[in-house]
Structure 1
């Protein structure tokens, strides 16, 4: 049961019967986000990305969906992981296009946000990207330089819209309290907290449905997880999701947001049924 990893190949070219991802992946995010990028921000995009498997597969997913939405990717820039100084790469980004789309996470998300701002890229171009750039844990390191960034994420730590529910408030409050025990600065929960929590609950639900008691029940557990419907509840505060039988990939709602005043403001919620992509492997056959 995968808890965090977004590498597309896990449920595509490297899928296997024993691996499940109970949260989103780049192709679904791209399906959800590309129409907004093209229709509300601009037709022409340059993609800057973390140059390894996740960044590369996410780049490809967005390039494909931006094109399908009627837009164009005019260039891409790959940046190696862990570069404290990205200016040698970012300074080469120029030309006539509408938006810069970033695909980075962790410390690299902070680095690219700060240095793209310092180079004037986020003023010259519309600035959007994977929500991992502006996770709640990254906001202190980005300060006002991330202002106006438009991102997509499966989870945003706000109590508004469809996230203003008793289940989410319970999860949010408990996560904040537990995170403060680890980090006194009191970070808000992010998508990694959410997906690990829900992954364990998905496994628990599958074990209950299959009456799992040990290794001899492995296939019963797999069959219970295939096609599993997870309903919004205390166990799944992010919302309803479906774990597709064909490839063990889940589909769930996505959130589009803008950073304003150092906080997340929801722009749109994309229903899970509008994020579905065709399976690249098929255990149903």
Structure 2
């Protein structure tokens, strides 16, 4: 097995990225963070922004002296949004010297990677949102610092039934993330007096959505859609062309429109989305707006949520994940005195039950990581597409997102 020192000497010829600022002394061996970035495949917008934001976070820490006086090196591997590739890249990073790894946005890649994190005893932060990641599929070495699908459903289902309607059709991407939504929403909707008329799964590789959209029950009052990336734009455009969006209320998770140019789909005027963070600075709560403004400035994003240099739309509801995880690692390492992977049990026990307060390191807001299932809980938002842009209509407190844990990882050995 290649050790860290050997790997770092070979780094120049690798696809990995290393950040070596002059401000940090070189007496101590560098600390290495890995990133499973979905740079290609079905989630390239998420991969682009997670890569950019994590790079910025590492550069900031190194400018400020690193973590516990150690340089921070970043290894980036492209998962191609593919489970086999993503799992292999995780193995490569850990065997190549990664001390910690920030995972893929893809729930499928995240789920495929969880057993490896346990097998290789590496603290792993999956970004995928399928509920089972911090449920039956997880283990004590994984921590999800962002929301789960169940939290999204928990915070929005009652409002959606009361506001939008009681007869629903769910149209979802045919992979782990879409299936998780199709599992979580119906029981909650039914408890609020609604019914799901049908659930339609559409393969990720689909380019022609018409055959699927013609199956939508005309009695539908609420069309709930779950798609990531470019397929969201194709789906919404096709639904608009068929007149479906004009006949029923449109509701979805923010993933459906995160990272796309909303002006390209004007027909979604009036549609609603449950989100994790506002796209526009003006919609960020005053208590955290200063932190979010500094975060945007550091990563090169406008107040409206586009990249300053290119005008590219951000994945603004998701891109903060990596920033906060890097700073979470800094806090955990310095508080526990972590020196090497043999100290991982210290990190695990420190993170279990940890509460975080909003600041520049955690610009999304206050949150906590539940000890039993290593699931974080944070505030959520309802956003409406109005006059060509997303606007927040309601903030939902993090306590509304809490549900009973289904596992207790603290009982697992380290």
In which range does the TM-score fall when normalised by the shorter chain? over 0.9
- Name the TM-score, length of structure 2 as normaliser: 0.65
Deviations 1:234-271 (A, max 9, x none): 11111111111100111111010101122111111110
Structure 2 runs not aligned, ≥5 long: 1-123
Q: What residue in structure 2 maps to residue 44 of structure 1?
A: 167
Q: Find the partner of 1:154 among 262, 270, 276.
A: 276
- In structure 2, the CA distance between the partners of 1:246 and 1:125, relative to structure 1 (3 Å rule), is same
Establish whether residue 168 from structure 1 lines up as the match of residue 292 from structure 2. Answer: yes
Greater Cα offset, 61-70 or 248-257: 61-70
Counterpart of 2:281 in 1: which secondary structure?
Answer: coil
Instruction: Determine the C-alpha separation between the residues in 1 that align with 2:162 and 2:238.
Output: 27
Q: What residue in structure 1 maps to residue 342 of structure 2?
A: 216
Residue 70 of structure 1: how far off its partner (Å): 2.3
Deviations 1:147-198 (A, max 9, x none): 21100111222223543421011112323359847x6234345233111211
Counterpart of 2:324 in 1: which secondary structure?
Answer: helix
Q: What residue in structure 1 maps to residue 368 of structure 2?
A: 242
Instruction: Determine the C-alpha separation between the residues in 2 that align with 1:274 and 1:61.
Output: 16
Structure 1 runs not aligned, ≥5 long: none
Q: Is the 8 A contact 2:140 2:410 kept in 1?
A: no
Q: How does 1:57-206 map to 2 (within 5 A)?
A: 57-135=180-258, 137-140=259-262, 142-164=264-286, 165-177=289-301, 180=307, 184-188=310-314, 190-206=316-332
Establish whether residue 22 from structure 1 lines up as the match of residue 145 from structure 2. Answer: yes
Q: Is the 8 A contact 1:152 1:257 kept in 2?
A: yes
Instruction: Determine the C-alpha separation between the residues in 1 that align with 2:410 and 2:291.
Output: 33
Counterpart of 1:123 in 2: which secondary structure?
Answer: coil
Residue 211 of structure 1: how far off its partner (Å): 1.6
- In structure 2, the CA distance between the partners of 1:232 and 1:154, relative to structure 1 (3 Å rule), is same
Instruction: Determine the C-alpha separation between the residues in 2 that align with 1:63 and 1:142.
Output: 31
Greater Cα offset, 28-37 or 87-96: 87-96
Counterpart of 2:358 in 1: which secondary structure?
Answer: coil
Instruction: Determine the C-alpha separation between the residues in 2 that align with 1:133 and 1:104.
Output: 5
Greater Cα offset, 266-275 or 144-153: 144-153
- In structure 2, the CA distance between the partners of 1:65 and 1:159, relative to structure 1 (3 Å rule), is same
Counterpart of 2:186 in 1: which secondary structure?
Answer: helix
Larger Rg: 2
Residue 145 of structure 1: how far off its partner (Å): 2.4
Residue 203 of structure 1: how far off its partner (Å): 2.1
Instruction: Determine the C-alpha separation between the residues in 2 that align with 1:237 and 1:61.
Output: 28
What RMSD in Å do the two structures reach over aligned CA positions? Answer: 1.8
Higher relative contact order (Cα pairs below 8 Å, separated by 6+ residues): 1
Q: What residue in structure 2 maps to residue 232 of structure 1?
A: 358
Q: Find the partner of 1:268 among 377, 383, 394.
A: 394
Counterpart of 1:92 in 2: which secondary structure?
Answer: coil
- Name the TM-score, length of structure 1 as normaliser: 0.93
Q: Is the 8 A contact 2:168 2:224 kept in 1?
A: yes
Instruction: Determine the C-alpha separation between the residues in 2 that align with 1:71 and 1:273.
Output: 24
Deviations 1:47-85 (A, max 9, x none): 000011110011111112212222211111000002111
Instruction: Determine the C-alpha separation between the residues in 1 that align with 2:388 and 2:145.
Output: 30
Aligned length: 283
Greater Cα offset, 62-71 or 81-90: 62-71
Instruction: Determine the C-alpha separation between the residues in 2 that align with 1:83 and 1:258.
Output: 27
Q: How does 1:252-267 map to 2 (within 5 A)?
A: 252-267=378-393
